[in-house]
């Protein structure tokens, strides 16, 4: 028997093959385990060396020894007739087949893993790149302005681990405060509360959330309050690798000092993990303790929760809670700011009572006496001058100061956009709104306002994309549906679409929704529906901060379009009577002048009277580039109803150019111009712009 045949008989070749395949599998496993166990770099090399050195002894053992039923014996001691090497060889064949199968399975898995890894790394590089641009399906609007970076963060809602479920407001308050503190750090791009709260009980994984919010990192946490102790768990996670970049548990006595110390430590730890640098002023800002009174802080958190809702009852509850917090700690500046905010919101949305504006001013001044330079103070001043006095120059000054101190605050950017728009700074308005949307990408109302800004500028494609984004986030949102109706009317005169979009809007508690319903019904000549909605207009929607439209105003106009002139004049006289009563309450008010001018075309259509009323109103309106074109449209409609084509043309023609909410389609549809449509000059104007 030749030497090669003897090697085969003794299974030496098969042992060598099995050993080699086993060695390869072991080395693959070593690569995986070495990283998990953090083995030193030389460890896998040493293992390979041992396995290679062991190859020769394995072959020698296979040659010199044989496996028998009685155990391992030297080959020369086994009779050929008693040898079981063929049976052992078959077992080795099976072993080799299994090992090769495992090797093939591992090879396939590794190939797929590398492919997935390559895809993942490409996606991760795209999302975390300093020059990453949002994809067109997400926004479609000047996405270059909405770049994100490697230190963009979404702080998901914290879990309430307290035994009392009612402590949820406390957990939410800690979460909100952390968001506020992080927004003061310029290096971070922190997604706002509104956008992250929808993920409270989500089943989506972190990567899905990160993709929707356009962030690279996610913070998760929980809060547990028990007696005079609080435990806060926080972890920072790379959303695309699921790697925990940092985690910490804070278990301390429940004091406000400890709570804000924890927030300061979290901010610094996140900065360290993400390799960001905090300035001395930022460190001082996040370390500031607003009150030493735990009970006052607790009431403040409850007030903020109620202040998130827009009902009169919720605002009144927030008001009382802020007041009680200030009884416990009169030096609590943030509570004074919260109180001012409630008063200003009541002033803007609920009747424009001068007392609310005065109380807001007092609260802001009290906060200023405690600390004359903090971000929330400038925010409050911005709201006060915007809402309280329509003074957009002062509003912008204060909002820009707030942004300097709190660059990651979406609300400050959005309000800068609002104020810029009213000041006629349209591109600045768009830039500010884009920044707000970067920080709050899941806020449908912000998308709608962004879209409406494009609508005013007659940039309809961009307007449509933004409003559709709002609808995608919240399909049933009346606000976005109302403005989508305005877009349909202005862009193409699609009155049927506008009617469908505003079904049910007359029952809303928001004036803009009701207005969209009324305009769609007027343009669609569905006057009975408009009249019913006008007569059922809630009291609280009649008096807006920017204008006063009584139910009798709506009814008088609708009845006039229906040809019921006697009823129209009766409604107009009732409106005029109520407006006189409001004048005794508000004094000389441009909103009353405007409402009287609009009703004059029905109440007393004498051209001189109508002209006089309109001129008086024009002299009293505030400087406001947004309201200006809306007021002019009102004047044009008034002249149209009064049958004064020259005056209607003078007011209307400039509105065919942006900014405005007017187009040839809306003029074609508006029954207010029915009385002047046949005028040759009116026809010529429409031809010029058609």
What's the pLDDT tens digit per position in 528-540?
A: 999 999 999 988 8
For the ranges 264-273, 321-330, 587-596, the maximum mean pLDDT occurs at 321-330
Domain boundaries, the chain: 3-112, 145-288
Whether this model's pTM surpasses 0.85: no
Q: Among the listed ranges 47-56, 647-656, 681-690, which one has the minimum average pLDDT value?
A: 47-56
247: left (phi over 0), alpha (psi -120 to 50) or beta: beta
Q: Who contacts 513 (Cβ-Cβ below 8 Å, separation ≥6)?
A: 478, 479, 482, 502, 505, 506
- Mean pLDDT of the region 580-601: 92
Strand 71-74 and strand 159-160: the pairing is unpaired
- DSSP run (H or E) holding 159: strand 159-160
Phi–psi pair at 153, nearest 5 degrees: -135, 140
* pLDDT value at 147 more than 70: no
Distance CA 540, CA 200 (A): 33
Q: 236 pairs with which residues across the strands? A: 219, 246
Q: Who contacts 103 (Cβ-Cβ below 8 Å, separation ≥6)?
A: 21, 24, 25
Give the chain's radius of gyration (CA, Å).
36
Count, residues in the chain: 690
Distance CA 361, CA 642 (A): 43
Q: Who contacts 547 (Cβ-Cβ below 8 Å, separation ≥6)?
A: 591, 594, 595
Contact of 422 with 378, CB cutoff 8 Å: no
227: left (phi over 0), alpha (psi -120 to 50) or beta: left
In 3D space, the residue among 309, 291, 384 whose CA is nearest the CA of residue 341 turns out to be: 384
Distance CA 264, CA 300 (A): 20
Distance CA 675, CA 678 (A): 8
- Mean pLDDT of the region 645-655: 97
* pLDDT value at 137 more than 60: no
| Dihedral of alpha carbons 287, 293, 299, 300, sign | negative
> According to the model, what pLDDT value does residue 103 have?
73
Contact of 279 with 188, CB cutoff 8 Å: no
* pLDDT value at 429 more than 90: yes
For the ranges 36-50, 285-299, 309-323, 614-628, the maximum mean pLDDT occurs at 614-628
Distance CA 103, CA 93 (A): 15
Distance CA 644, CA 646 (A): 6
Burial environment of residue 198 by CB neighbours within 10 A (0 to 12, 13 to 18, 19 or more): middle
What whole-number percentage of the chain has pLDDT above 90? 56
* pLDDT value at 76 more than 80: no
643: left (phi over 0), alpha (psi -120 to 50) or beta: left
Chain mean pLDDT for the chain: 86
Q: 67 pairs with which residues across the strands? A: 72
* pLDDT value at 345 more than 50: yes
- The larger pLDDT score, comparing residue 128 to residue 318, is at 318
Which fold does the domain 145-288 belong to in CATH? Rossmann fold (3.40.50)
Transcribe 266-335 into DSSP letters.
Answer: HHHHHHHHTT----HHHHHHHH--S-S-HHHHHHHHHHHHHHTS-SHHHHHHHHHHHHHHHHH-TT-HHH
């Amino acid at each position: 028997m030749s030497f090669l045949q003897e090697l085969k008989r003794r299974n030496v070749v098969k042992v060598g093959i099995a050993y080699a395949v086993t060695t390869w599998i072991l080395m693959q496993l070593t690569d995986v385990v070495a990283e998990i166990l953090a083995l030193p770099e030389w460890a896998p090399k040493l293992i390979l060396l041992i396995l290679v050195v062991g190859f020769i002894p394995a072959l020698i053992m296979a040659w010199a020894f044989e496996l028998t039923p009685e155990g391992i014996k030297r080959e020369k001691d086994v009779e050929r007739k008693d040898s079981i090497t063929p049976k052992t060889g078959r077992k080795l064949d099976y072993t080799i087949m299994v090992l090769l199968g495992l090797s093939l399975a591992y090879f396939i898995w590794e190939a797929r893993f590398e492919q997935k890894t390559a895809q993942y790394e490409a996606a991760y590089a795209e999302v975390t790149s300093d020059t990453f641009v949002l994809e067109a399906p997400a926004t479609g609007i000047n996405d270059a302005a909405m770049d994100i970076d490697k230190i963009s963060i979404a702080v998901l809602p914290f879990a309430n681990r307290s035994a009392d479920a009612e402590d949820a407001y406390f957990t939410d308050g800690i979460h909100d405060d952390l968001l506020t503190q992080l927004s003061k750090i310029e290096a971070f791009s922190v997604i706002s509360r509104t956008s992250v709260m929808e993920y409270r009980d989500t089943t989506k994984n972190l990567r899905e959330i990160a993709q929707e919010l356009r962030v690279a990192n996610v913070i998760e946490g929980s809060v547990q309050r028990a007696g005079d102790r609080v435990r806060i768990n926080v972890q920072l996670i790379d959303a695309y690798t699921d790697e925990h970049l940092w985690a910490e548990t804070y278990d301390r006595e429940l004091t406000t000092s400890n709570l804000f110390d924890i927030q300061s430590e979290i901010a610094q730890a996140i900065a360290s993990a993400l390799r960001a640098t905090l300035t001395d002023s930022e460190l001082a800002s996040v370390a500031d303790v607003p009150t030493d009174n735990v009970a006052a802080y607790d009431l403040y958190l409850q007030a903020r929760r109620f202040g998130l809702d827009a009902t009169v009852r919720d605002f009144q509850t927030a008001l009382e809670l802020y007041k009680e917090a200030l009884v416990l700690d009169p030096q609590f500046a943030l509570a004074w700011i919260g109180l001012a905010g409630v008063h200003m919101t009541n002033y803007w949305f609920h009747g424009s009572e001068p007392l609310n504006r005065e109380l807001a001013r007092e609260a802001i001044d009290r906060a200023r006496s405690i600390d004359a330079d903090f971000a929330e103070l400038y925010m409050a001043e911005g709201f006060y001058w915007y809402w309280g006095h329509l003074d957009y120059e002062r509003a912008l000054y204060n909002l820009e100061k707030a942004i300097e101190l709190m660059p990651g605050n979406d609300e400050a950017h959005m309000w800068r956009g609002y104020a810029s728009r009213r000041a006629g700074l349209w591109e600045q308005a768009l830039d500010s709104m884009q920044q707000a949307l970067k920080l709050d990408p899941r806020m449908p109302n912000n998308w709608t306002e962004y879209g409406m800004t494009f609508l005013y500028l007659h940039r309809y494609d961009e307007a449509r994309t933004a409003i559709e984004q709002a609808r995608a986030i919240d399909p049933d949102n009346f606000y976005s549906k109302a403005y989508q109706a305005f877009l349909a009317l202005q862009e193409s005169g699609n009155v049927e679409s506008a009617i469908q979009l505003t079904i049910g809007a007359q029952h809303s508690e928001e004036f803009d929704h009701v207005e969209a319903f009324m305009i769609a019904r007027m343009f669609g000549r569905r006057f009975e529906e408009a009249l019913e909605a006008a007569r059922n207009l809630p009291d609280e929607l009649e008096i807006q901060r920017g204008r006063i439209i009584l139910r009798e105003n709506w009814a008088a106009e609708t009845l006039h379009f229906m040809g019921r002139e006697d009823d129209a004049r009766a409604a107009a006289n009732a409106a005029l009577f109520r407006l006189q009563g409001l004048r005794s309450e508000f004094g000389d008010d441009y909103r009353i002048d405007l409402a009287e001018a609009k009703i004059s075309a029905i109440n007393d259509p004498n051209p001189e009277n109508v002209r006089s009323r309109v001129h008086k109103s024009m002299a009293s309106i505030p400087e406001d580039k947004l309201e200006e074109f809306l007021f002019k449209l009102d004047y044009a409609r008034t002249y149209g109803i009064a049958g004064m084509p020259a005056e209607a043309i003078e007011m209307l023609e400039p509105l065919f150019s942006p900014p405005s909410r007017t187009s040839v389609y809306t003029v074609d549809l508006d029954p207010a111009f029915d009385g002047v449509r046949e005028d040759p000059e009116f026809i010529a104007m429409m031809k010029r712009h058609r």
